[in-house]
Structure 1
Amino acid sequence: MLLVVGSLAAALVLSAPLRAETPERADDTRARMAEIFASMQVLLPLSVDEAAFAAPENREKVRRALETLSANADAMATHARGDDAGRRYLGRSLRDDATRALARYDEGRPENAAFLVRQASENCVACHTKLESPGDSPRAVHFVAETDLAKLPLAEQARLLVATRQFDAAETALERLVTDPETPPSKLLPAITDYLVVAIRVKDDPKRPIPTLEKVAARADLWQRLREDIEQWIRSLRDLSTAKPAANDLAAARERIERGRALVPYPADRAGLVDSIDASRLLHRFLDSGTASKRDAAEAWYLLGVTEAETARGFWVSQAEIYLETAIRTDPKSPSAEKAYALLEEGIVLDYSGSAGVNVPHAERQRLAELRRLIDAP
């Protein structure tokens, strides 16, 4: 079993894009990711079966996998290249999830630990959907289908297929989900968002979702605004399908964002979703090239924060704040830094506002104060 897990992990890592890194750093990253994947391959199937996850005969295996997951996620975050804020953030997030899961497990709360393990896979999804994929992992083809993970709802299976770099299977699963008449309209938006992220950002294939979304738009039970949004996404996908390759990714991303904003009648509207996802694809590629000036990189991080806020569909992992903070730290004197600060401050205040008033934690106030000092420093 360990040999299978190890070879599976290696296959997953070898198919992961590790661009703009020195050979030594890339080797270290692959080694860390191999350990992370090996741990997840042990934990995920057990997490579906509460009795198996809590069974005494599995205790040592579960504890060892959680400890390994936490240690290697922390190491990956610590050794991420200096400009890779996203990987540092996701590494820390994965470490924290694993540490909390281990604490709950040791407290005799295996159901909480199992939940945290499944949620931790959101970090893998976020990492694997940043850049265009060089291909699916050949050895993880049947991992979800042939384990207890197949018992999960289709939406969760699709997320785990992305986490294990099975993008073709993930697209197929999401197509089944969104075209199933039993899927209520209220569940369509997160599934379609995941589907478009894989199709546009990972596969760079804006044509594939068009017939699927046409079927969804034909449903009689959609509310009017949702139908209008889906119809707009279809038009935007057609435009992307015929667009010429970008000569300058940053300039093209600006154009995509402005085009998406022109479609939006009010801030929470989703008509510009396709343009935001494609803009994020261009921005990730631009930053990954390692050729950006400080000012351009700051703008790219700021725009990524904007697109992440518009496209993020889950509550567990959202990178908007780290992107905005990175924009400020990259070039505090740039126009993008001031805009990033305004958006970051607003988001933090709103996050901690409620019926009892505004209660921003001390650590968050300190973070904002430090960033403000960087911008205002002579």
Structure 2
Amino acid sequence: MRSGLVVLSVFALVLSGFRIKSGEKNYEDFKPHMRAVYASLVTIFPLALNTRSFTSKDNNKAIQENLNLIAQHAKEINTLAAKDEKGHAYLSLQLERNARQAALKYKDGLHDQAHFFVEELYDTCLSCHTSRSSSTDSAFTMDLSKNLDLDAMGTFGKAKFLALSRQFDRALDEYERIFKSQDLSLEELMHFDPLVDYLVLAVRVKGDADRPLKTIAELQKRPLPGPVKHDLEAWQKSLKQVKSRPKKQSDLEFARTLMKDVNRDRMSLVNTIFASKYLKDHLKRANISAKDKAETYYQLGICELSIGESLLAGESGMYLEESIRLAPKASFAKRAFELYEESVTLGYTGSAGINLPVEEKARLDELRKLVF
């Protein structure tokens, strides 16, 4: 399904990291780059719909020019976002890196590798959209999406596209339609794991525990494998517990409660997603102490590792690193370093062993000296 969705990666550039409110100071700085990327996407969109079009010599010039343009403006966006909230700054950096690599690989005729980096752009955009608690839908892409054959994007393609274009309620509607459909195979349910995407949208983006409770109740009526049933029962229990949040608890205090018994497994997924929502809300508060901010980043790092998305695992490293730099002698700093070292090492481990880049090794050495 990913190859069929590759076009969304490019299109999603216009949607990722651009949620700058019109009243904010740097909105005007972002606008020309948003418009330039949008204009480029309108051209490249139909060409990227399938591998044959993407690799055709007839389309080479148009694709290359537009990939170059996207990379150029992604670089400017990254520069503007560098001083923003850490999660946004990290994702903007990933956006710029992947856009640059997509353009370079395509130029060298390495179309498969170019496809890979375009898909990475898709993951970056999806992570950016679902990592935040803002649930405002956007009409920014409505005109373009009217002309798209969303139903041709694979079983979950339409739902993912709607999420990327910030049409969150429609995305949830689409996921629920699929879950109710008798056409949904157990293979698709197990392989693509759409329930995780659905829960992230419902819980973290919309902050809604009631909606997924109804969906889970419907799914439990279907004959499902034991592991899926166990997940649904655990998530149902967690959703009911989260609804009884004590009113006097702060976002950070409630997140601590949610994370108390969390393990890096699927059983505690709902608690983890809700905790990440409240932790991100806590970071928006003014005058947070360095210690509280460090703990918040530490807990966010654990959350993103627990949710289990490959991209979010990279984002978790950023959170863990930031927590260490803010409070290297805090009680959680050693554990933060252990998790950071583990995620970095695993990311560079292959059949030939561990191959850490020089800059990554230097960063690990620097953080180790801060903590120990």
Using the size of structure 2 for normalisation, the TM-score is: 0.84
Match of 2:239 in 1: 237
Match of 2:79 in 1: 78
Counterpart Cα distance in 2 of 1:24 and 1:358:
44
Show CA shifts across 1:37-75 (max 9, x none).
554454444311334434566444423322232222222
Counterpart Cα distance in 2 of 1:244 and 1:17:
32
Show CA shifts across 1:226-271 (max 9, x none).
2111112112222333435564111111111115x2xxxxx55311
Matched residue of 2:184: which SS? coil
CA contact under 8 A between 1:233 and 1:272: conserved in structure 2? yes
Show CA shifts across 1:101-126 (max 9, x none).
21232233445534532441221111
Corresponding residue to 2:366 among 365, 370, 375: 370
What one-letter code is carried by the residue in structure 1 that aligns with 2:128? C
Match of 1:140 in 2: 141
Match of 1:53 in 2: 54
CA contact under 8 A between 1:325 and 1:344: conserved in structure 2? yes
Counterpart Cα distance in 2 of 1:245 and 1:40:
45
- 1:201 matches 2:204: yes
Deviation at 1:14, TM superposition (A): 11
Corresponding residue to 2:334 among 338, 345, 365: 338
What pairs with 1:107-256 in structure 2 (closer than 5 Å)?
Answer: 107-110=108-111, 112-141=113-142, 143-144=144-145, 146-148=147-149, 150-185=151-186, 187-188=188-189, 190-222=193-225, 224-244=226-246, 247-256=249-258
Note closer, same or farther for the CA distance 1:248–1:138 as it changes in structure 2 (3 Å cut).
same
Counterpart Cα distance in 2 of 1:342 and 1:357:
19
Deviation at 1:316, TM superposition (A): 8.2
CA contact under 8 A between 1:233 and 1:274: conserved in structure 2? yes
CA contact under 8 A between 1:17 and 1:133: conserved in structure 2? no
User: Aligned pairs, how many?
Assistant: 360
Matched residue of 1:322: which SS? helix
The worse-fitting range, judged by mean Cα deviation, of 152-161 and 140-149 is: 140-149
Percent same amino acid among aligned pairs? 31
Counterpart Cα distance in 1 of 2:247 and 2:82:
28
Note closer, same or farther for the CA distance 1:373–1:282 as it changes in structure 2 (3 Å cut).
same
| Root-mean-square deviation (Å) | 3.2
Deviation at 1:192, TM superposition (A): 0.8
Unpaired stretches in structure 1, ≥5 consecutive residues: 1-7, 262-266
CA contact under 8 A between 1:47 and 1:115: conserved in structure 2? no
Counterpart Cα distance in 1 of 2:218 and 2:351:
42
Matched residue of 2:94: which SS? helix
Note closer, same or farther for the CA distance 1:348–1:112 as it changes in structure 2 (3 Å cut).
closer
Show CA shifts across 1:84-139 (max 9, x none).
22222211211222222212322334455345324412211111222233521124
What pairs with 1:91-110 in structure 2 (closer than 5 Å)?
Answer: 91-110=92-111
Note closer, same or farther for the CA distance 1:160–1:360 as it changes in structure 2 (3 Å cut).
same
The worse-fitting range, judged by mean Cα deviation, of 270-279 and 206-215 is: 206-215
CA contact under 8 A between 1:15 and 1:134: conserved in structure 2? no
Note closer, same or farther for the CA distance 1:28–1:317 as it changes in structure 2 (3 Å cut).
farther
Deviation at 1:194, TM superposition (A): 0.8
